[in-house]
Chains A and B, each alone.
Chain A
Amino acid sequence: MIINDNDKISSFQCFVLFVSVMIGIGIMFMPASVAKTAEQNGWLAVLLGGILSFAVFLLIFKIIMSNPDITFIELLNDAFGKILGIFFSLIYVLYFIIFSAFETRLIAETAKEFLFNLTPNEVLIITFLLTCAYISRYGIEVIARICEILMPGIVVIIVVLSFFVYQRLDFSNLLPILNIPFLKLIQGIGTTIFSFLGFEAFLFFMPYIRRKDKLIKSAFFGFLVTVLLYEVIIIFATADFGAKEMQTMIWPTLNLFRDVTVLEVVIERPESIIVALWMITTYTTEIIFLMTTGLILARIFNTKEHNFFVFSQLPFIYILSLIPQNISEIQKFMDYFSYFFATFVVLFLPLVTYTVLSIKKKVKKT
């Protein structure tokens, strides 16, 4: 597959892609699930979770930089041979499809609860998926530009709304610091993982990046913005509700911004704005996932374009997204997903590949 020069992304676009792909639907309920284990120290768990994710990314980066001009698919083929390589590549396809299904179902659930009470879930899911697929057919550069337009707006609106939340906060709810068992904090870090996942898409973007030496810098700032945004939300939510009340909530982030009243008349009940905003953040995550799956499949079948594969995965995402019965089951599945599947796909498989590759090279040298 030939990659022409106008399908390459700059380092700023890399940064934007990092933020867009990581900030997804997870943030909607992340404060509640963190509070269940880490209680009022949730902000610490998020910080550590962010650092941990960045460390994992550095590892991935080192692995893919062993041959920066090809994607991870070719690395898998080199390491395990053709058949096993394709098998492992298909695992990645499965991973991104399941991930997309989670995002889709959750955005439908949120929209149904707060915006479209009478619209069936199926219609919400289909419209969302078709809108995502429409843009995902285009190349990585187009998607990066879309994110470039959408991402700053989201960050700015959240920061502005936070100012209006600020006046009713009680920061003593963050006390006492670090009085919980260390094990619970570790568990708390585990629950934040899902909110940070998404950066592994960069395993497959390597050939499209113009300045590979600057990728670390972009990633650092991408993680920084994400962690800061998460910190603002989780600290504000803890200060507003207290850790105990937050555990009982399903959508703490939405509740946090829901009762913002700006000057009595200008904005009252901005929940529709918030839900719409989160549709956009999920949208940016979803389009990147759809495109990544398309790219992987295009590499496996060795085709020139990936746009056919984007549509072919939609039925699977649709069916998968309708499997969980309710929101608590989604969260249960998501925990299993991020603990086992994501650890395998994001950490374990790249590591094994790298080891195998380095052994093989050693064998070749001698």
Chain B
Amino acid sequence: MKQKRGAVLAILMVFLAFFMSGCWDRVEIEDRGYILALGVDKYDPSDLNKYESSEYIDLDRKTQKFSPEQKKPDIKTDQKGIDPQTKRKVKPPLPSSKNEYKFAVTVLFPNLRTIGKDSKPDEQMRFLFVRPTNNVVGVRNYLEREINKRLYYGYLKVVVLGRDLVEEPGYVREVLDALNRESDIPQNTFLLVSETTARDILNTMPLVQPVTGIHLFEISKNASIYGRVIDTPLSQVVNSFIDSNCAVISRVEPGVETLKVAGAAVFKNFRFVGWLDERQLQIYKLLMGKAKHTFIDDLKYKSTYVPFITTEIQSKKKIKSEKGRLKIVYNLRIEGEVIEFVFKSGYKVLDDPMRKYIQNELNKIIKKRADDLIYLLKYRYNADVLGVGDFISKKRSKDWEKLKKNWDDEFKKIDIEVVPDVKLRRSGTIY
């Protein structure tokens, strides 16, 4: 009897062992490499060679805090990337007509050891790897050969697209599909277009926040408050490409000690067609009802500039048909405050001659700038990034059926009128 019970118990133990070991695919937190930023460039062999030069290696040492004794092994390789002395493959093969890569992907992940207590002061904050590859997200699988971390996309903050890459609609579509398909990548990852190459951007160590990915992410997150920056999360970009084949993706400029997110790139049919500068972007955000604190500083009153900050914005779109043509009217209700003027000037900002003047002039400025922007979008870029087509398809679906066949031409014909209504509410703590 006792033996029987023992046997049953043993069988049960073995059986349980099968199902209790369910956590075998767990990964310890320090074994993970949390990729914070991806940079995608079009593969350019000459450009990659630049990064193999001694000049670059010196810069690399300086920014990444390598100690001077540490030298990079100087290995000369042949065309296939094989070191002639050791006969081992050390580098990705140099490009020839046969093996031309599509992308050069930059991967950035933070050094988790610097967060811990026993971190050394001169340890570098983040790691950066550039690899030529044919798939964007799949670069992880190549890097796993040389990095002892499980690379994980779950906390990806920003994806920077290089300037060369966005000229190629096919490549942009590949990148978008990869980002949209990978289930680990969060939909609120911000997309940015670099003014130069994505690698340059991620290679910079901004002073305030040295981990570039977090730096760009936090700036983009502030964009919902400030008017000069636009936030372009992946889901929104994908959505607008699906709806209208056009999109706006914010721009990032490299600097020596900092990175600047400013302006935006306009895409049409997955191809980069032009930039929006900061002022155009302000108006674009006003029209889209996204900006809250827009800073308008080109109003002059008696030889003094009067800066105006908006505090409340309502943007309402309406469709009218005039003589068989559709007309879209944007009603902008803007409230705001004047934060600077001349001390003891004798003028009262909140009182009537000046208040009315400021309001009228601001209305004119905004209308002028909006008209310029609409002209630019309509005739120069011919990109419906304002979502006019989408709006018509929602409100006037019957008209849309006729228009959508050659929307590119029809978009030019549609009148867009902007009616700003600025109200000055506050002027700080003095009149």
Chain A positions within 8 Å of B, measured between CB atoms, are 113-114, 116-119, 123, 126-127, 130, 172-173, 175-176, 179, 240-242, 244-245, 248, 255, 258-259, 261, 268-269
Contact B242 A245 (CB under 8 A): yes
Contact B188 A259 (CB under 8 A): yes
Chain B nearest Cβ from A94, distance in angstroms: 29
Contact A175 B394 (CB under 8 A): yes
A-contacting residues, B210-249, CB 8 Å: 235, 238-239, 242-243
Contact B395 A269 (CB under 8 A): no
Question: What are the residues of chain A within 8 A of B188 when measuring CB–CB?
Answer: 259, 261
- Which of B17-25, B82-90, B165-173 has 4 or more CB atoms under 8 Å from chain A? B17-25
A245: which of B25, B154, B238, B395 is its contact (CB, 8 Å)? B238
Contact B394 A119 (CB under 8 A): no
Question: What are the residues of chain B within 8 A of A248 when measuring CB–CB?
Answer: 242
* 13 A-B interface contacts by CB (under 8 A): A117-B25, A118-B24, A127-B19, A127-B22, A172-B394, A173-B394, A176-B397, A179-B397, A240-B235, A242-B239, A244-B243, A269-B154, A269-B155
Ranked nearest first, the 9 interchain pairs of A and B with the lowest CB-CB distance are: A118-B25, A175-B394, A176-B397, A179-B397, A259-B187, A244-B242, A259-B188, A245-B242, A259-B186
Question: What are the residues of chain A within 8 A of B395 when measuring CB–CB?
Answer: 175-176
User: How far, in whole Å, are A175 and B243 apart by their CA atoms in the complex?
Assistant: 14
Chain B positions within 8 Å of A, measured between CB atoms, are 19, 22, 24-25, 154-155, 183, 186-188, 235, 238-239, 242-243, 391, 393-395, 397
6 A-B pairs besides A130-B19, A248-B242, A269-B186 with CB distance below 8 A are A114-B183, A117-B25, A126-B19, A172-B391, A241-B235, A259-B235
Chain A nearest Cβ from B26, distance in angstroms: 9
User: How far, in whole Å, are A343 and B151 apart by their CA atoms in the complex?
Assistant: 48
Question: What are the residues of chain B within 8 A of A258 when measuring CB–CB?
Answer: 186-187
Question: What are the residues of chain A within 8 A of B242 when measuring CB–CB?
Answer: 242, 244-245, 248
The count of A-to-B residue pairs whose CB atoms sit within 8 angstroms is 49
User: How far, in whole Å, are A150 and B349 apart by their CA atoms in the complex?
Assistant: 62
Chain A nearest Cβ from B7, distance in angstroms: 21
Chain B nearest Cβ from A61, distance in angstroms: 41
Contact B235 A119 (CB under 8 A): no
Question: What are the residues of chain B within 8 A of A114 when measuring CB–CB?
Answer: 183
Question: What are the residues of chain B within 8 A of A240 when measuring CB–CB?
Answer: 235
In the complex, the chain B residue whose C-beta lies closest to that of A254 is B183
User: How far, in whole Å, are A60 and B183 apart by their CA atoms in the complex?
Assistant: 42
Question: What are the residues of chain A within 8 A of B239 when measuring CB–CB?
Answer: 241-242, 245
Which of A118, A119, A245 is packed against the most chain B CB atoms within 10 Å?
Answer: A245
Chain A nearest Cβ from B237, distance in angstroms: 11
In the complex, the chain B residue whose C-beta lies closest to that of A244 is B242
Question: What are the residues of chain A within 8 A of B394 when measuring CB–CB?
Answer: 172-173, 175-176
Contact B25 A119 (CB under 8 A): yes
Question: What are the residues of chain B within 8 A of A119 when measuring CB–CB?
Answer: 22, 24-25
User: How far, in whole Å, are A126 and B155 apart by their CA atoms in the complex?
Assistant: 32
Question: What are the residues of chain B within 8 A of A127 when measuring CB–CB?
Answer: 19, 22
User: How far, in whole Å, are A291 and B283 apart by their CA atoms in the complex?
Assistant: 63
In the complex, the chain A residue whose C-beta lies closest to that of B19 is A127
User: How far, in whole Å, are A119 and B397 apart by their CA atoms in the complex?
Assistant: 48
User: How far, in whole Å, are A255 and B188 apart by their CA atoms in the complex?
Assistant: 11
Chain A nearest Cβ from B276, distance in angstroms: 22
User: How far, in whole Å, are A167 and B397 apart by their CA atoms in the complex?
Assistant: 27
Contact B186 A255 (CB under 8 A): no
Chain A nearest Cβ from B17, distance in angstroms: 13
Question: What are the residues of chain B within 8 A of A172 when measuring CB–CB?
Answer: 391, 394
Question: What are the residues of chain B within 8 A of A116 when measuring CB–CB?
Answer: 22, 25
Question: What are the residues of chain B within 8 A of A259 when measuring CB–CB?
Answer: 186-188, 235
Contact A113 B183 (CB under 8 A): yes
User: How far, in whole Å, are A269 and B184 apart by their CA atoms in the complex?
Assistant: 10
User: How far, in whole Å, are A259 and B236 apart by their CA atoms in the complex?
Assistant: 13
Question: What are the residues of chain B within 8 A of A245 when measuring CB–CB?
Answer: 238-239, 242
User: How far, in whole Å, are A255 and B180 apart by their CA atoms in the complex?
Assistant: 11
User: How far, in whole Å, are A201 and B239 apart by their CA atoms in the complex?
Assistant: 41
Chain A nearest Cβ from B283, distance in angstroms: 21
Chain B nearest Cβ from A108, distance in angstroms: 13
User: How far, in whole Å, are A357 and B239 apart by their CA atoms in the complex?
Assistant: 56
With A244-B243, A245-B238, A245-B239: A255-B187 Cβ-Cβ less than 8 Å:
yes
User: How far, in whole Å, are A240 and B391 apart by their CA atoms in the complex?
Assistant: 16
Question: What are the residues of chain B within 8 A of A118 when measuring CB–CB?
Answer: 24-25
User: How far, in whole Å, are A244 and B19 apart by their CA atoms in the complex?
Assistant: 42
Chain A nearest Cβ from B60, distance in angstroms: 32
Question: What are the residues of chain A within 8 A of B22 when measuring CB–CB?
Answer: 116, 119, 123, 127
Question: What are the residues of chain A within 8 A of B393 when measuring CB–CB?
Answer: 176
Question: What are the residues of chain B within 8 A of A244 when measuring CB–CB?
Answer: 242-243
Question: What are the residues of chain B within 8 A of A130 when measuring CB–CB?
Answer: 19
Chain A nearest Cβ from B316, distance in angstroms: 12
In the complex, the chain B residue whose C-beta lies closest to that of A260 is B188
Question: What are the residues of chain B within 8 A of A113 when measuring CB–CB?
Answer: 183
Chain B nearest Cβ from A268, distance in angstroms: 8
User: How far, in whole Å, are A117 and B184 apart by their CA atoms in the complex?
Assistant: 11
User: How far, in whole Å, are A114 and B185 apart by their CA atoms in the complex?
Assistant: 11
In the complex, the chain B residue whose C-beta lies closest to that of A255 is B187
